[in-house]
Amino acid sequence: MPINVKVMNRPVEQVSYIRATLSGMANTFRHFVSGRRHEVTTQYPEEKEAISRRWRGTHRMLTTETGKAKCVACGLCPTVCPANCIKLVPGEDEDGNRYPLVFEIDEFRCIFCGYCQEVCPEEAIHVGRHYENAEYSREGFVYDLERLTAQTHPVCEMWDPADPLGE
């Protein structure tokens, strides 16, 4: 949906706001007595609105068929992360395959830009279509590898220049 911009000119001289206040009150009163019922309240959490396919929320680490994290500890996502909220300690097995010894994301510091998902060569780490991740402590927002792989919510579909409106 295109965004319309309405330019408001600031008054150049000192003005009284009484007229605007009365106009606002009249508007409120009109809605109050008109009897029109335009309900916009969503009874969350019993009711939930559908969220965009491009919603960038709680991360999820995808796994291979054997249940191993797809991450190969390449180091790209902690490098691009503008919030510096990804902690990666890489390891290597006897065959020279890299894997994450430690992989943590601090969801509290994260700004949900989605760069980690975009840059990942293995399509391992994803931002997810999920937002119910409130916690009572800062530590609770740190998702380790086990927690990231245990997430089951759908993952975000990244912005596609061929389909800018996501239709």
Binding residues: 71, 74, 77, 81, 110, 113, 116, 120
Distances in Å between the Cα of 162 and the Cα atoms of 22, 24, 113, 166, 167 are 48, 43, 20, 9, 10
> Under rule CB under 6 A, which residues in 104-123 are in contact with ligand SF4?
105, 110-116, 119-120, 122
Q: Decide whether 27 or 84 has the Cβ nearer to ligand SF4.
A: 84
72, 87, 131, 133: residue in contact with ligand SF4 (rule CB under 6 A): 72
71, 145, 148, 156: residue in contact with ligand SF4 (rule CB under 6 A): 71
Name the phi and psi angles at 134, rounded to 5: -65, 150
Do residues 166 and 129 make contact, with C-beta atoms less than 8 angstroms apart? no
Do residues 91 and 99 make contact, with C-beta atoms less than 8 angstroms apart? yes
Binding-site ranges for ligand SF4 (CB under 6 A): 71-77, 80-83, 85-86, 88, 105, 110-116, 119-120, 122, 124-125, 127
